[in-house]
Amino acid sequence: MESQVELDELASEPIATQSPYDVTHDVAGLKTLFVNVFLIGEPGAGNPWVLVDAGLPGYAGQIKKKAEALFGPGAKPDAIVLTHGHFDHTGALKALLKDWDVPVYAHPLELPYLTGKSSYPPPDPAIGGGFMSYSSFIFPIGPDDFGDRIKTLPTNGTIPELPGWRAIHTPGHAPGHISLFRDADRTLIAGDAFVTTNQNSAISVATQKEEVFGPPAYFTCDWQAAEKSVKTLNNLNPTSVGTGHGVSIHGLDLRLGLTRLANHFKESIPSEGRYVKQAAVTDENGIVDMPEPTSYNVARAIGWGMLAGVLLYTLWPSSSHDDDDE
Spacing of C-alpha 286 from chain mean position: 20
Give the count of beta carbons closer than 10 Å to the beta carbon of residue 177: 32
Domain boundary assignment for the chain: 20-294
Q: Contact at 8 Å (CB) between 112 and 142?
A: no
Give every CB contact of residue 291 below 8 A, 6+ residues apart in sequence.
Answer: 274, 275, 277, 278, 279, 280
Whether the link from the prior residue into 143 is cis, omega within 30° of 0, is yes
pLDDT single digits (tens) 30-71: 999 999 999 999 999 999 999 999 999 999 999 999 999 999
Superfamily (CATH) of domain 20-294? Ribonuclease Z/Hydroxyacylglutathione hydrolase-like (3.60.15.10)
pLDDT single digits (tens) 194-243: 999 988 877 888 889 899 999 999 999 999 999 999 999 999 999 999 99
pLDDT single digits (tens) 265-292: 999 898 888 999 999 999 999 999 999 9
User: What pLDDT is recorded for position 16?
Assistant: 57
Q: Contact at 8 Å (CB) between 306 and 203?
A: no
